[in-house]
Amino acid sequence: MSQCPSPTAAPASAPLRWYRAPTTVDGGAIAQLFELPFLNLLYRAQTVHREHHRPNEVQLSSLLSIKTGGCAEDCGYCAQSAHHKEAGVPAGKLMDVDDVVQAARAARTQGATRFCMGAAWRNPKQRDMAALTEMVSQVRALGLETCMTLGMLEQTQAEALKQAGLDYYNHNLDTAPDFYGQVISTRSYQDRLDTLQRVQEAGLNVCCGGIIGMGETRAQRAGLIAQLASLPVPPQSVPINHLVPIAGTPLQDVAPLDEFEFVRTVAVARIALPHAVIRLSAGRESMSEATQAWCFAAGANSIFLGAKLLTTANAPVSADLDLLQRLGLQAAAASAG
């Protein structure tokens, strides 16, 4: 883990702009949810889930790395950072539009309703915008919902993506403000909030979550969820990633998290963000089927379908479809638009 909190990272005590005073979201109450007996917490989460969502539906997204590696940021968990050369992910170029559309078509055939395109960038360059907007409009023309995650955005870039038909923009807070500086030093928490504001003001649906199991405390897990629930408009989609420890990154040796603590985090996210789709994101490949089933019971209702995430393996499609079938879970129809 990085030992040097960044000079640019917001200290825990710094006031963060564009963040609603938690009048409706009481951080203490969120922390207390974590202390409930496991089954009481799951009962609460499942009750909230059934009030706002179809109980046996799971939304299926597919993920493609449209530009891999060589990223200027130093996120301690990420194989694609140019700072983590030993992770062994070479820097690539932005994919051709036709190849992206072909991958989207394959994802649709496998059963995905949303196609998520990720780039290892601090932010997109102006010269990339024409190709990015073309990808969005052609993927959307296939009848898929579109999502992109490209790093920080300017207002005009967010608007151009919206104009092209982008449905969701994924930009994670990743962790609580008071742990953030131990994981990332090259951009601040405030930078992330600023991009989220631009995305929301451009009229895009916000997909925003974090990573669990990076060595943060339970209070910091609660802190992340309190931040997410305190955004001026709560995110429509909330990815909860389990850290995939990658050799060659500063977080390669973080002690594994108790799997019930991960399930608890999903349950607390469900209660704090009752309307959001909660995505059980990275880390499923090494999770038992039983733990995944607990996560669905805790209110997770979306997964990434496909053998690969960005650089790491995901559960095989056949195994996922088999698990959903055995649990009586059905794929949800596309909803945005």
Counting contacts by CB under 6 A, is residue 179 touching ligand SAM? no
Residue 243 interacts, among ligand SF4, ligand DTB, ligand SAM, none and using kind-specific CB cut-offs from 5 to 8 Å, with ligand SAM
Counting contacts by CB under 6 A, is residue 213 touching ligand DTB? no
Q: Would you give the binding string for ligand SAM spanning residues 296-315, x where CB under 6 A is met?
A: --------------x-----
Phi–psi pair at 218, nearest 5 degrees: -60, -40
Phi–psi pair at 166, nearest 5 degrees: -65, 135
Counting contacts by CB under 6 A, is residue 120 touching ligand SAM? yes
Counting contacts by CB under 6 A, is residue 89 touching ligand SAM? no
Which stretch, 40-48, 127-135, 306-314, 322-330, contacts ligand DTB (CB under 6 A)?
A: 306-314
Contact 119, 83 (CB under 8 A): no
Give the residue with the Cβ less far from ligand DTB, 44 or 209: 209
Give the residue with the Cβ less far from ligand DTB, 58 or 282: 282
Phi–psi pair at 274, nearest 5 degrees: -60, -30
Distance CA 33, CA 17 (A): 26
Phi–psi pair at 117, nearest 5 degrees: -110, 120
Q: Which of 160, 240, 246, 298 binds ligand SAM (CB under 6 A)?
A: 246
* Longest Cα separation, the chain: 53
CA separation, residue 111 to residues 12, 64, 336 (Å):
42, 15, 16
Which stretch, 19-27, 124-132, 262-270, 308-316, contacts ligand DTB (CB under 6 A)?
A: 308-316
Measured at the CA of 224, the angle between CA 31 and CA 298, to 5 degrees, comes to: 65
Give the residue with the Cβ less far from ligand DTB, 42 or 63: 63
Distance CA 303, CA 166 (A): 19
State in Å, rounded, how far the first CA of the chain is from the last one: 40
> How many CB atoms are located within 10 Å of the residue 177 CB?
24
User: Taking the complex as a whole, how short is the minimal distance between the CB of residue 268 and ligand SAM, in angstroms?
Assistant: 18
Catalytic positions, please? 71, 75, 78, 116, 147, 207, 279
Distance CA 259, CA 213 (A): 10
Structure tokens of 140?
């959307």
Which stretch, 96-104, 109-117, 239-247, 319-327, contacts ligand SAM (CB under 6 A)?
A: 239-247
Q: Which helix (H) or strand (E) holds 102?
A: helix 97-110
User: Taking the complex as a whole, how short is the minimal distance between the CB of residue 238 and ligand SF4, in angstroms?
Assistant: 17
DSSP state of 166: -
Counting contacts by CB under 6 A, is residue 170 touching ligand DTB? yes
User: Taking the complex as a whole, how short is the minimal distance between the CB of residue 115 and ligand DTB, in angstroms?
Assistant: 12
Counting contacts by CB under 6 A, is residue 282 touching ligand SAM? yes
CA separation, residue 230 to residues 14, 25, 60, 80 (Å):
16, 6, 26, 30
Give the residue with the Cβ less far from ligand SAM, 48 or 295: 295
Residue 81 interacts, among ligand DTB, ligand SF4, ligand SAM, none and using kind-specific CB cut-offs from 5 to 8 Å, with ligand SF4
User: Taking the complex as a whole, how short is the minimal distance between the CB of residue 189 and ligand SF4, in angstroms?
Assistant: 14
Of 124, 118, 126, 112, the residue nearest 147 (C-alpha): 118
Counting contacts by CB under 6 A, is residue 244 touching ligand DTB? yes
Give the residue with the Cβ less far from ligand DTB, 42 or 71: 71
Residue 148 interacts, among ligand SAM, ligand DTB, ligand SF4, none and using kind-specific CB cut-offs from 5 to 8 Å, with none
Structure tokens of 128?
């990339």
Residues in touch with ligand SAM (CB under 6 A): 71, 77-78, 118, 120-121, 149, 151, 171-172, 174, 211, 241, 243-244, 246, 282, 310
